[in-house]
Amino acid sequence: MSTALEITAFAYLGVISVVLAVIDVRHHRLPNRIVLPSYGVGGALLLGAVLFGAPAAALGRALVGMIVLFGFYLVLRVLSRRGLGGGDVKLAGVLGLYLGWLGWEALAIGALAGFVVGGATGICLVLARRADRRTRIAFGPAMLVGAWLVIGASAAGWGTGAVVA
């Protein structure tokens, strides 16, 4: 991340990530009043970063990533018969925006990592006898952790050049 606006955008994502994870764990909701403005705030900050020297291609990837991840989660929601919440679908678009900014590989790995973290969480809860097959488990925190694992790796310079913008 090369510009102050990029750093600000990711700091904003960090703040809402903590807030959303806590709310989702406690109430199984990802409130629209937090998620929906995140599209505009993140988009505006990343657009500003392009205006101040960040690569324009990153913004194009971010927009495509937003649409692709939102669409993928929407299809999953329809196929899962509401096993996946609408808030998860909306959050996926926000995460797609940020992961797409970092690169195609970051988008793919970040999306996959959310499912890995969610699956591992579910297995741990079942093994600890804190959940069973019918227990509703908040998926937003797993999505966020998966995305932040990739964002952290990118910031640390780990992975291929496709992950590091």
- Domain region containing 29: 4-156
User: Which amino acid, one-letter code, is at 77?
Assistant: R
Has residue 161 been placed in a domain?
Answer: no
Has residue 16 been placed in a domain?
Answer: yes
Q: What per-residue string of b and e applies to 45-74 under the rule 16 or more CB within 10 Å gives b?
A: bbbbbbeeebeeebbebbbebbebbbeebb
Does 37 score more than 90 pLDDT?
yes
Domain count, the chain: 1
Has residue 92 been placed in a domain?
Answer: yes
Has residue 64 been placed in a domain?
Answer: yes
Has residue 96 been placed in a domain?
Answer: yes
To the nearest 10°, report the CA torsion of 86, 33, 111, 80: -10
Does 44 score more than 60 pLDDT?
yes
> Contacts for 55-58 with beta carbons within 8 Å, 24 or more apart?
55/165, 58/101, 58/102, 58/165
Does 1 score more than 70 pLDDT?
no
Length of the chain: 165
User: Which amino acid, one-letter code, is at 98?
Assistant: Y
Q: Which residue is listed with tokens 């989660």?
A: 73
Does 159 score more than 70 pLDDT?
no
pLDDT band at 165 (very low <50, low <70, confident <90, very high): very low
User: Which amino acid, one-letter code, is at 56?
Assistant: A
Q: Mean pLDDT for the chain?
A: 93
Share of the chain above pLDDT 70, in %: 94
Closest C-alpha among 116, 112, 111 to residue 93: 111
pLDDT band at 83 (very low <50, low <70, confident <90, very high): confident
Has residue 162 been placed in a domain?
Answer: no
Has residue 165 been placed in a domain?
Answer: no
Has residue 163 been placed in a domain?
Answer: no
The answer to whether 98 and 147 have CB atoms below 8 angstroms apart is yes
pLDDT band at 43 (very low <50, low <70, confident <90, very high): very high
Residues ≥6 apart with Cβ < 8 Å to 164: 102, 103, 154, 157
pTM score over 0.85 = yes
